[in-house]
Structure 1
């Protein structure tokens, strides 16, 4: 296979070829800057030493991939989706085993944390060691698991992170104190955090749910099945012993996506907004539902802001 010197971006999905063919294609592209490997079941080892121009690496659902060796000169962004990995998964060529150029990292632990969490000490420690090579330099960190943040409570510090995004479920019947404790544990790992984004994913679909039939419902029935969970009788105050320093002194922007307004989410939002003393802007996008309930949630959130001068945007 000849050199593909002009190839700068490559996305390989469900490639059935032997891993030798995949490796040969990648190695023949020395100018490659953007590589995505998705669901390539035949690939067990990958060497990117010949790809010194690589700036972004995305590995999605490659369940048999055991080791990846990268050249760390230009790599700025790394994204991974799959099972819990340890520090042996990503091997760095040169630079003492670190990735000083990494600025953005997204980790989606889906294979283990779909219905059950990675809670053993070994699994939690493995996640920490997995992120260790770029912990000191990345400025944007995006973490996703089934239960928001719970897979990531044992991470090491990320002193350079300015933007943290957490994706996952915080359901209406969840323990609000646990949701706050998990979030605080992660926030303490990012002392210079300025932007916090929480994306509240919906509850899993019930067994036997038919998406097609749901789309065909009449509008009135669809509204009845909205995703908001507001209950004015819920208690949403929760005492906590220690507020993360970054929340009180550094966080300037808070974004809440797909906010459903269940008790646990409201308690978590109240805690964040009441303790973000230097907050400059809050953004909230509500889940689908009646405007009347969205308005109640909006008014409630406005009343929680400790910094009344903060900009507010609700959608």
Structure 2
């Protein structure tokens, strides 16, 4: 027992004992998720909060997908990309939150080896796809405002489908490479994952061999999949604002600033927190800090995306009125 408790100063003794009792012999091959917090009696409250956020995120994304599918006026490149983003957000938040919510009320925090591997792969694949798609959404806005005459060519249906396919394919390949590598490493220190889901940086702390070379691979992937799209978003919106201030009236400028700033805030929240996790050396990671940071790109971003990017747009609110009327 002392061997396990030394792994994390946040893992309570009663949770460990309970997990060992419920896990029986399988605890030797399965993993134990420590969870987001260990506050005992407050677990019921945390369950309600997480379940509420999850429900709101599901409702917002499902509503947007439904509206775009039903209303032909929303069959445009921009809303096609946003519908794909909502589909990803649905799966993305469903990868981590249900298990975390159940663990709040469960005595057993165990996740099987295969379950952990699948969760890690799906999370990486969806997270990478989301990072790339957010960049494509900003590119769509850039072309629409800065090159409107070329928009039908640069954002044709085939090109939009190619963008989505490339995002899915590249992220899936990257995810499977990282997942296969991490899960063939020797987990000889313990099976206690000091996190609320199976995430690569948290898993590396369980490995008993030097992972410094692999950490460079994680850094390179993080810079490619996260930093490059984020820089593209910043450049796109900067150019959009320049064009808007050169051509629009004061009212149009204020609307553009409001729209771009809200988009940038949500995008920055996703990219900054993800970069914070995936581009730091393992020696600088703090489990308690990493778990709080992960909440932003696993829960908050999928929750905010449909409301910031779509559900407050005039086209979408008009579609809601037509659907209800």
**Which interval holds the TM-score relative to the shorter structure?**
under 0.3
TM-score by length of 2: 0.23
Specify which structure has the higher proportion of strand: 1
